[in-house]
Structure 1
């Protein structure tokens, strides 16, 4: 194919408008659907490499194309070089982690590389145009890069041209941002940035709804039901049988790709697996035309930034992976979610790039209507520690001055800044300015925790070993490597050519990190600053075979994740310094060894689980745990209620892990009282000595509260426990047994305001004098106050007094001469008239020596029986 025909791409028609927009405003939004050539043709045109489509003015500086993924960056560079009839490294270059071949006119980089470059060279010397590709995917690094580039244009390089390229038509947010901010007015009031649009090649895509025959459990955390993956494989077989062309199948991750690939053994097609860790040879094979029919199993990397030739059919599982961060536990994980409608449309469009196609969707049309409209931006979901360090180094520690499409969540940013302060990367105080150590961490080009392990670990175990372990943490080995990180490291160190793509990437990354350490060391102490743990000596090798390797690897891992240092619990599992329980997989090599201490490298917490799941770890000992996680060491006096009594002791801890404890001879009396109060809350007020007087007083006060309300104090348990610590002051109580000495009645009276104390006897008298002259105790324990008295003592009394200032009638329990209940009334006059006769008839024969007058209302009350005759 000649060069002219290679460059006959749909986006060509929009390039003159893009030239004009950049000439006028210096910024533009390019909306071009997948397959139109926005990623490959537009950079060539802006660099003046399309013979019949020259820019109006000669390009000033290199064109930088920014891609969100390494695979997409390498593919874009290869495609552009192919269009020119060259090799990568000539006019077109590529720079990604592990590969640096800068071109003379165009350089394709990942967003991470651009952000790293901006830290050292904010002006982007030598760059004339920056194209931020696939900005619609809303990756955190891409959003950050756009905000930084707008800052560069506004302050340092107003002549630098900036293009935000999107595969969707939702361009308004980008036009507003590039136009000058949330309102899109710009300093010159010219409104949003110009939008240049390209129509897609119009090839129809038929939708086939292909749900499983029966409902299957939805994904849970990282787990996808094997039966659903079997259905996806069956759908791919069906697509091969029913349609022509290659099949592109979307799955959430490498594990699901491997399982479906296994289920497709024996199909009459080549099965290729494409994901972020796929070998370069596989990536090359996918992007090149093939003689044989293919089934390409891919993650979201193939949604928009890669064109796979020959694809006429898409099989969409409808699943995607999103990050989740547990800020309280310091654990991050990916979780499987249903893909959005926008994502499903992107995937379906891959079937119609070159000709009419078909998409098989493994869900129902009704389910499709219920899907979210678009994916959530990564800034809402991800761990923001790296982002927080970048913006601090940029001079915007709170991100308020950055033109971000969405602001970072406050809680997540606060958690990230707390982590950075613990690493020594940020100054203390509300400003939180970046320290020299923080800048050194940022220059390492890895996540801040790993950068800390690299810098501080190199002083303990040597630069080479530290770089190798950090490279292994930043390029995690495949699941098949097992959970013993030391064993994986040992296998990778073997001499000879790399065994696989992961080994090759690991070696290159280890070399890069070692170079970064060397460059940092040239800056001396001022460049690296103090280590967060005081820079203690080298680790003591562990006993047993391979102990030295464990000590080295464990030290670096613990420096990276001190809160994940874990100690074995009695019974099963481990407790991490963060306070989270953690378990090893059954049957794993580490679980069989039952290690007392671990430095956990990779862990996640499955949805709904209280414990974390250890994916990879290193066996360490207590000394390494103490040294590497030294910032978490504490020694404090603890006074608490434990096992039914006050326990006072001095405790040494590593985070939440208790290392040692000894009794405290003279505990703080205030803390002792607080512990006793906690005991009362835990076990109840029954721990106090409730005398009869105290119980009755509580009942009287509770009655007043019910009848009169405020300011009478509440007497329920919760209300009284609020005052428990005050009751204990001055009591001398130091342990459970001492609680019996507390004068509860006096404590209750102490809760009364003075006006209530003065009125208590009037509102709720303890005793009431009855006509016989007896002073009878009132029972306030029920809903209504009760006066229980022998019937003969009330003769002549036509009404009992009302309590609570006349608000509540007194209920009278009339007792027989033997003290047994005979009648209950709140209206004595009515009882004497109507009820007394029946009681008299029943009891006069049983108690003949007691008076039973016919007219009790006029009879004299008495406490005595009639004298014997």
Structure 2
């Protein structure tokens, strides 16, 4: 019997006439309805003609982003009709289908919808499609919307399409749906009070999947506070399963808390999910949930929401081929959705575990998955749809070019598409398997080596990462799932059966049963992730063939493996190496077979920083992993020359032989370049290393190793840089003389290495010299260091005339008693210069 009393109270009823008019006139519509209004349950029933005014019965397909929401929505609609799911209302999710010949409204996940569209582009028999919770911007939902718009434009203009959400970019969706009318429904009138409850202690921001335990302790404290201060059940939002388990442990049991603690997430047993959605039996409940409870679900009895303010979003490191979930601050739209759970049935309260001042800094909406996720599955869907580069698809956000290119590379490597991006027959088969293209490749190729059943079981493990308590050893996790009686094991068995069924017709290998569990798990994992095949380099560290390092946790039995197939890994923030979450032991033969596309053998001639010399060898590599090498007797001269240049740049020009003459020449040239500029060359390290061939050409051609460079006289090479062509080179001795003759007749070396030319000479040798010597064509006076008879600086001047006039007397008074055998005339301008002392008196 139809529960008309419940249906009549749903606020979305007032928007139904406008929605019907929009669909009749335009064929598409955007429905904005706050949580609890009935958009997920009443609207499909009315569109199908099952309730409301009599009209034609239409077949309605409702697409939900999550399996738990799809099941819950179907059961709720069936309950409103007084039926069980599987009658006029049914559902289909991966691994479970409840429909019958009389099913009119079918709720499916967006992934299931994509599979149907690929099999039947006309979506035969379906009259209306409702894309629910489109604000969440899941990649499958965006893709399904684009495909459905193609269907309407090219094949079935009569197909009706509704984009429904509680909080969304209504204008953007309306434009995407061809300027579709926007129909808004009034929300539930129950007010929700906001209580700001920021932590008192500092909390480290989340990174990767790590959440500061201080925040989780605070969330548990806020839950206890909410139980004391408010009536009704409490719904607490946390980012993931691990955080839910942690907070559940902090809250304790019912006796201590005064309430039953339940956990709702995608991995929770179906019976637990259904019990939560069915409502309590008088005992207060605390429901700890991930984002699955944000949308399409009403949890009866909830009057209070505690929001941690965190969410999990996919992130992909395309350079390393690593995909993982990242903990982020939840958007304002998600916050509104979560708060709305408290006001569905009566006035409620939301406790937000952050400061009110932080609210404005939160993102307005969740990041669209198409901008941050691995796009290999999307790229295969688009290719099979007939649009390999996705340029013709109507998408709210276009896929990033780099991410799409990385996805195309994966599809090409797995044989899913050809060189032009068009799907192969194998690619079409992979798309129909309902798993990521990497796992589809492992299914098809693994079945031939391991057998259909065992391959399906291993891929089922990889399609939904097993619980952490299963460990990081894929083979051990496989054994645990086979004997396990937990919720994960039940889902794993169902998925394995589905995949085994999907592999019907694939020829299985005859030797598969002979492989051990470890070998079978390793082979399948390596087929799925060939670039993550890794070789040990000691202390639990590995190098993947992609070039990324990988590390295992302490105590892992995989630490002794010589080779590893890394199935699940993430890279912590600021870490150079990935952290292995799930892997399997393999041998080198398996590594070569699965990652064979990355095998290369080539001559390598390079400068080894470790040896400080040229290394020439023939190397066999599997990507970044070196397999073997042998010395090269006659390396290629071009490669050899490049290696020597690399070494010179690594160690600097000091690698050559620098005699005092060579150093002096370099200092003189540097001085002239600084003072006169061109054509005098720049001989700094940077300039010399920028073009070593310009001054080292013949020597580079003749050299084979470090020792050959160390024998090169740098002076001879520098002379090649002199401006010979214009004749300026002949003026080197004039403009930057090595020595300057002083009045005593001595030829004193000029030091150009201090930035300014320095002439260090004994004071007595300059008697009679009034003007300071100059260089650079008279532009630069030398800095004269006047030395005592013992060769120690007595004075420094760039103006000799001034020194003789003003400074000499003080120097004479200080030194004449110390050096009586040396002349100290009162008038140095008329004295005879000398380099010798006076003759000793007898």
TM-score range, shorter chain: over 0.9
- Assess if the C-alpha contact under 8 Å between 1:211 and 1:361 holds in 2: yes
In 2, Cα distance between equivalents of 1:176 and 1:475? 36
Please state whether the residue corresponding to 1:730 is helix, strand or coil.
Answer: helix
Alignment match, 2:579? 613
Q: Map 1:15-94; keep pairs closer than 5 Å.
A: 15-52=16-53, 54=55, 58=56, 62-94=59-91
How far 1:677 sits from its partner (Å)? 2.6
Equivalent residue for 1:331, pick from 322, 334, 342: 322
In 1, Cα distance between equivalents of 2:287 and 2:790? 97
- Assess if the C-alpha contact under 8 Å between 1:63 and 1:130 holds in 2: yes
Say whether 1:269 aligns with 2:259. Answer: yes
Say whether 1:166 aligns with 2:156. Answer: no
Say whether 1:475 aligns with 2:475. Answer: no
TM-score norm. by structure 1 comes to: 0.89
Assess, with a 3 A threshold, how the Cα gap between structure 1 residues 194 and 759 changes in structure 2: closer, same or farther.
farther
How far 1:659 sits from its partner (Å)? 2.0
Assess, with a 3 A threshold, how the Cα gap between structure 1 residues 254 and 822 changes in structure 2: closer, same or farther.
closer
Q: Give CA-to-partner distance per residue, 1:494-531, whole Å, 9 cap, x none.
A: 5xxx723322322222222223222677xxxxxxxxxx
Assess, with a 3 A threshold, how the Cα gap between structure 1 residues 740 and 507 changes in structure 2: closer, same or farther.
same
- Assess if the C-alpha contact under 8 Å between 1:728 and 1:742 holds in 2: no
Q: Give CA-to-partner distance per residue, 1:663-695, whole Å, 9 cap, x none.
A: 222122222232233333333332210011210
Equivalent residue for 2:684, pick from 716, 729, 740: 716
Alignment match, 1:95? 92
How far 1:771 sits from its partner (Å)? 4.2
Alignment match, 2:487? 501
**Consecutive unaligned residues in structure 1, runs of 5 or more:** 180-191, 522-534, 542-546
Alignment match, 2:226? 239
In 1, Cα distance between equivalents of 2:3 and 2:792? 115
In 1, Cα distance between equivalents of 2:807 and 2:304? 95
Assess, with a 3 A threshold, how the Cα gap between structure 1 residues 53 and 799 changes in structure 2: closer, same or farther.
farther
Assess, with a 3 A threshold, how the Cα gap between structure 1 residues 51 and 823 changes in structure 2: closer, same or farther.
closer
Q: Map 1:148-187; keep pairs closer than 5 Å.
A: 148-168=147-167, 170-179=169-178
How far 1:174 sits from its partner (Å)? 0.7
- Assess if the C-alpha contact under 8 Å between 1:787 and 1:812 holds in 2: yes
- Assess if the C-alpha contact under 8 Å between 1:539 and 1:551 holds in 2: no
Assess, with a 3 A threshold, how the Cα gap between structure 1 residues 846 and 246 changes in structure 2: closer, same or farther.
closer
In 1, Cα distance between equivalents of 2:707 and 2:2? 97
- Assess if the C-alpha contact under 8 Å between 2:27 and 2:159 holds in 1: yes
Q: Map 1:259-338; keep pairs closer than 5 Å.
A: 259-262=246-249, 263-266=251-254, 267-293=257-283, 294-338=285-329
How far 1:560 sits from its partner (Å)? 0.6
**Higher mean C-alpha deviation, range 386-395 or range 213-222:** 213-222
- Assess if the C-alpha contact under 8 Å between 1:383 and 1:412 holds in 2: yes
Alignment match, 2:795? 823
- Assess if the C-alpha contact under 8 Å between 2:334 and 2:366 holds in 1: yes
Assess, with a 3 A threshold, how the Cα gap between structure 1 residues 788 and 241 changes in structure 2: closer, same or farther.
closer
Alignment match, 2:759? 787
Assess, with a 3 A threshold, how the Cα gap between structure 1 residues 801 and 418 changes in structure 2: closer, same or farther.
farther
Say whether 1:489 aligns with 2:478. Answer: yes
Please state whether the residue corresponding to 2:339 is helix, strand or coil.
Answer: helix
Q: Give aligned pairs, total.
A: 828
How far 1:841 sits from its partner (Å)? 5.1
Q: Map 1:140-539; keep pairs closer than 5 Å.
A: 140-168=139-167, 170-179=169-178, 192-262=179-249, 263-266=251-254, 267-293=257-283, 294-428=285-419, 431-494=420-483, 499-518=485-504
In 2, Cα distance between equivalents of 1:208 and 1:819? 84
Please state whether the residue corresponding to 2:384 is helix, strand or coil.
Answer: helix
Assess, with a 3 A threshold, how the Cα gap between structure 1 residues 759 and 419 changes in structure 2: closer, same or farther.
farther
Please state whether the residue corresponding to 1:7 is helix, strand or coil.
Answer: helix
Please state whether the residue corresponding to 1:638 is helix, strand or coil.
Answer: strand
Say whether 1:736 aligns with 2:706. Answer: yes
- Assess if the C-alpha contact under 8 Å between 1:795 and 1:860 holds in 2: yes
How far 1:796 sits from its partner (Å)? 3.8
- Assess if the C-alpha contact under 8 Å between 2:695 and 2:720 holds in 1: no
- Assess if the C-alpha contact under 8 Å between 2:2 and 2:81 holds in 1: no
Assess, with a 3 A threshold, how the Cα gap between structure 1 residues 710 and 492 changes in structure 2: closer, same or farther.
same
TM-score norm. by structure 2 comes to: 0.92
**Consecutive unaligned residues in structure 2, runs of 5 or more:** none
How far 1:858 sits from its partner (Å)? 4.8
**Higher mean C-alpha deviation, range 392-401 or range 303-312:** 392-401
In 2, Cα distance between equivalents of 1:228 and 1:381? 26
Q: Give CA-to-partner distance per residue, 1:388-419, whole Å, 9 cap, x none.
A: 22223333333333222122223322322232
In 1, Cα distance between equivalents of 2:500 and 2:696? 62
- Assess if the C-alpha contact under 8 Å between 2:69 and 2:295 holds in 1: no
Say whether 1:631 aligns with 2:621. Answer: no
In 2, Cα distance between equivalents of 1:650 and 1:728? 27
How far 1:860 sits from its partner (Å)? 5.8
Q: Give CA-to-partner distance per residue, 1:523-559, whole Å, 9 cap, x none.
A: xxxxxxxxxxxx9996896xxxxx7111111100011
Q: Give CA-to-partner distance per residue, 1:105-159, whole Å, 9 cap, x none.
A: 2221111112222223222222221111111111122122222222222222222
Please state whether the residue corresponding to 1:337 is helix, strand or coil.
Answer: strand
Assess, with a 3 A threshold, how the Cα gap between structure 1 residues 414 and 708 changes in structure 2: closer, same or farther.
farther
In 2, Cα distance between equivalents of 1:327 and 1:706? 47
Assess, with a 3 A threshold, how the Cα gap between structure 1 residues 538 and 770 changes in structure 2: closer, same or farther.
farther
Q: Give CA-to-partner distance per residue, 1:232-255, whole Å, 9 cap, x none.
A: 233323323332222211111112
Over the aligned positions, Cα root-mean-square deviation in angstroms equals 2.7
In 2, Cα distance between equivalents of 1:573 and 1:482? 18
- Assess if the C-alpha contact under 8 Å between 1:218 and 1:224 holds in 2: yes
In 2, Cα distance between equivalents of 1:515 and 1:49? 35
**Higher mean C-alpha deviation, range 440-449 or range 102-111:** 102-111
Assess, with a 3 A threshold, how the Cα gap between structure 1 residues 804 and 176 changes in structure 2: closer, same or farther.
farther
How far 1:793 sits from its partner (Å)? 4.2
Assess, with a 3 A threshold, how the Cα gap between structure 1 residues 760 and 432 changes in structure 2: closer, same or farther.
farther
Assess, with a 3 A threshold, how the Cα gap between structure 1 residues 807 and 379 changes in structure 2: closer, same or farther.
farther
